[in-house]
Homo-oligomer: A and B are copies of this chain.
Amino acid sequence: MKRAPKAGVAPKMDIRNVASRARVSIATVSRTINHVPTVAPALAARVWKAVEELNYFPNTQARALVSGRSRLLGLIVSEITNPFFPELIQEFENVAVERGYEILIGSTNYDVKKTESCVRRMLERKVDGVAIMTFGIEELLLDRFAAGDIPTVFIDLGPNNPRSTTLVVDYRQGIYEGIQHLAVLGHRKIGFISGPLKMRSAQTRKAAFIDCLRAIGLTADSAWMVEGDHTLDGGRDAMQRILALPEWPTAIMCSNDMTAIGVQHELFEAKLRVPDDFSLIGFDDIHLAEYTIPPLTTVRMSCKDLAYAAVTDLISNLDPEGTPPPSKPSIPTHLIVRQTTGLPRNALSDLAHGKKSKARAELAK
């Protein structure tokens, strides 16, 4: 018999090579590498040795084909270029890999066609489950996954399919903290830039905003609630629209950080200052938020928590007999105060110059 072939040249290593080299059957090899406990230690050792020497690794496709499980988890996000999602993806992947799964990423870009192809790919690749983190997906998708009897996790909204769970995020807490923070500073006129309202979750956040405002004794002025689209450009445009209004709010709350950064930029272009002219609060607390100029006050939603909850739910739903979704605490949110919030501009100019009239005139304009 020849010496062990150099590892790495790898002329099509399959389970049979391993079996013959370890002088066992392929079934034993399979059982060994799958950690079936009934394999005799002596044989297992031989198998592992052979695996090592031939540096064999199983063919995922064959494995999936016969076992019916791909060990692949789909993750559908809105837009991969929005930094929140890469952070989420990373956390999601960490948790998934830890549990022995890999992930397949799909980005819808808010486009129906792209979304369709995304779903199709997930179905074709036979994902074992899919997390839909797109903060609003057309209903039709649910059906597709339900039809394939694939477990799903949704965020905020979701079908009442037994194979599907929905994660609930406690938007209210963070938004409430934000509004209270603004109120304490003296703000009474607070605007809101939402996500695309065709998304249910954008509506949820907006509703939470309105409720919190009310809880604190203020009412929402609908002129100051404008629709954005969760992008930099959208934030910029939304702020332009607010600046075109006859009366300005003194603070703006945004439904995500990218929007807030867009707003900051627009304010910079308009030679207005943050927080002197406008206070600003974002949402998500992406890593970048700490680095904006000035650093962004924002509501943190832990994507670590989100990812963990999503993967856990998915996997527990995989084995139909398994433990039913283990309790479901809502994902918490809370305010991170940085430097984009301050006293409202009239208060400030009052303090600085004592010239009330000028400020009033400006405001009236």
Contacts and interface: CB of A to CB of B under 8 A. Distances in A.
A124 B58 contact: yes
A10 B145 CA distance: 11
Contact of A9 (B70, B147, B236): B147
A292 interface: yes
Given A65-B65, A121-B102, A60 B126 contact: yes
Interface of A: 8-10, 57-62, 64-65, 70, 80-81, 83, 85-87, 89-90, 93, 97, 102, 104-105, 107, 117, 120-121, 123-126, 143-144, 147-148, 232, 236, 261-262, 264-265, 268, 287-288, 290-295
Contact of A261 (B268, B291, B294): B291
Nearest to A57: B124
A89 B117 CA distance: 17
Contact of A232 (B10, B261, B287): B287
A81 B80 CA distance: 10
Given A60-B126, A102-B121, A148-B10, A262 B291 contact: yes
A80 B89 contact: yes
A90 B83 contact: no
A80 B70 contact: no
15 contacts: A8-B143, A10-B147, A59-B124, A59-B126, A61-B62, A61-B64, A61-B125, A62-B65, A81-B83, A232-B287, A261-B291, A265-B293, A268-B294, A292-B293, A293-B293
A144 to B, nearest CB: 8
8 A-B pairs with the lowest CB-CB distances in the bound complex, closest first: A8-B147, A61-B61, A265-B291, A293-B293, A80-B86, A61-B65, A61-B64, A60-B124
A208 B202 CA distance: 47
Contacts of A125: 60-61, 102
A17 to B, nearest CB: 15
Given A265-B292, A265-B293, 9 more contacts: A8-B143, A60-B126, A80-B89, A83-B83, A90-B107, A102-B121, A232-B290, A264-B293, A265-B290
A9 B144 CA distance: 9
Contacts of A117: 97
Contacts of A93: 107
A307 to B, nearest CB: 13
A262 to B, nearest CB: 7
Contacts of A293: 264-265, 268, 292-293
A148 B7 CA distance: 11
A65 B126 CA distance: 14
B80 A90 contact: yes
Nearest to A83: B83
A232 B168 CA distance: 31
Contacts of A291: 232, 236, 261-262, 264-265
Contacts of A147: 8-10
A104 B70 CA distance: 14
A287 to B, nearest CB: 7
Nearest to A60: B124
A342 to B, nearest CB: 16
A90 B81 contact: yes
Q: Which of A59, A80, A143 has the most CB of B within 10 A?
A: A80
